[in-house]
Structures are given as C-alpha cells and as structure tokens.
Structure 1
Amino acid sequence: MTEVGWKAEPDEHDYPAAADYLALLAPPEQVTSIVAALEAVPIAHKKAKDLLRASRLELLPPDNPHVKSDLTKIGKGKPLSQILVVQGDLSTGVPLQIADGYHRECASYHTDENTDIPVKIAPSTR
C-alpha cells in the first residue's frame, strides 16, 4: 500500500484559495478572521474517513482530474499540501467545511481511508 506524504506546512496559495471558497459562504470580515485563524492554529492530524464524514461531502471518484493528479503525486512519492478546514457545529448541524484540499482529501481516502491527514482547523466564527 502506498503511503501518503505530506508537506510540513500548507502551500502559501492554499490560504487565498480557502478565502475564495469561504467568500461564497460568509461575509468578508468573517472570511478574514477565519483565514487568520487557519494561519495561526497548530497542525492537527485527522483520519481521511472522519474528515469526509464530518464534511458530509461525497467522495470524488479516482478519475476526477484533480483527484487523479493528486493520486499520481502520491504514487510518485511527492508530498501533498495540508488541508485547511473550518470546524462544524454539532449542536446546529453545520458540517465541517473543507476550505482548501477537498481533492487531496479524496485522493488520500482512495489511498487509505485511515490515512492521518495533517489539517489546520479553524473554529467557526459567529
């Protein structure tokens, strides 16, 4: 079984990509606050299967072009960038938001659903 390698830190372009996605869900001041939190929080490790379940997103197929690209990187031993997420809220039923790294999450899941993924988890702001 191929092991997924991870970079020590997210790529710099991951934060603007997360902001672009979050701008679809929240006002600019909230997005700014969440991205600042993502940059500041320590790295945690979560299982691929748990991240996918908590996000309530569907697993993209391995032939999705972006997932396929990440699977190729994994096969060549190239490390992937970490995943940036916003914590969900169990009491209100709000799922975890994968702000950046959905395709990497799916590629990791296809490799091994028990993969420990380094993530930065920002708390949701109200």
Structure 2
Amino acid sequence: MAVKWFDEPEEHDYDAAADYLSMLAEDATVAATIKALKSAKPVDREAKDILRAARLTLLPPDNLHVRSDLDKINHGKKLSPILLVRGTPADALQIADGYHRVCASYLTDENTAIPCRLASWVPKT
C-alpha cells in the first residue's frame, strides 16, 4: 500500500520539533531554526536515506507509535511531512519531528518518497 502524505506539516509538529531541538540548542537558535523549517520548500527524501543520514536505527513494527502510523497507512490515512534539520557534515541529520513516521514508511517500502521540510541550523543572532 502506498503511503499518503499531507501537503503541509501540522502545526503541532513544529511544536514537537521545537521541544526536541531545545535539548540540542539554545532557545534563540531553536526559534530561528523552526522559522526556517516553516519557510523551507518541500523536498522528497527516501526513508532509508533519512535513517542513514540521521544515524538512527529502524524502530520495530511493534513500537506503539510506529504501529499507529502503520495502521494509518493501512487505512489510507495521510501522514504529516517530516521535519529535518541538517547538521554539519560531521554531525548527524536531526529528525526534529517524524521519526516514527519515517520508520513506518520504511517498513511499508524503504524507497518511499517522504515529503520533508529540510533546513540548516540557524545560529542565534
């Protein structure tokens, strides 16, 4: 079954991304980076490449949140695009929001084109 996606991330995804990123950077940097994500043009990336760039392992299908996303996929419901923050070449990509959705997409088809918003860290000014 093909994975279906909303055209735009949901507003609460940006809040979740900010919560996660706040553990990695100062508030001003997080706020500027979230602003950059909101204005980023959509790009498609494959699930397998997102996981590799983020240096994350695939969560199992019995993970509660992955299972929930797999159920949505199986019922033809749309998922929210993924929010990604690019690090330096030495740093891993950050899945600011959507790790479980990436894993569910991978389990459905690792080559699924996933709509993403991709931005670089914006240093505080």
TM bucket by the smaller chain? over 0.9
Report deviation, 1:125: 2.8
Match of 1:73?
72
Aligned pair 1:53/2:63, yes or no? no
CA RMSD of aligned residues (A): 0.7
Match of 1:29?
28
Q: How does 1:75-94 map to 2 (within 5 A)?
A: 75-90=74-89, 93-94=90-91
Match of 2:110?
113
Report deviation, 1:82: 0.4
Report deviation, 1:47: 0.6
- Structure 1 counterpart of 2:105, which letter? S
Q: Identity of paired residues, percent?
A: 56
- Structure 2 counterpart of 1:5, which letter? K
For the Cα contact (< 8 Å) 2:82–2:95, is it kept in 1? yes
Match of 2:43?
44
Runs of 4+ in 1 over 4 A off after TM superposition: none
Aligned pair 1:95/2:92, yes or no? yes
Q: What's the CA shift string for 1:77-119, capped at 9, x where partnerless?
A: 00100000101221xx100000000000000000000000000
Higher fraction of strand: 2
Q: Distance in 2 between matches of 1:61 and 1:88?
A: 26
Q: Distance in 2 between matches of 1:3 and 1:79?
A: 10
Q: Distance in 1 between matches of 2:7 and 2:53?
A: 24
Q: Distance in 1 between matches of 2:22 and 2:121?
A: 14
3-state SS of the aligned residue for 2:62? Answer: coil
Match of 1:104?
101
Q: Distance in 2 between matches of 1:19 and 1:105?
A: 18
TM-score normalised to structure 2 length: 0.96
Match of 1:17?
16
Which structure 1 residue ranges, 5 or more long, are not aligned? none
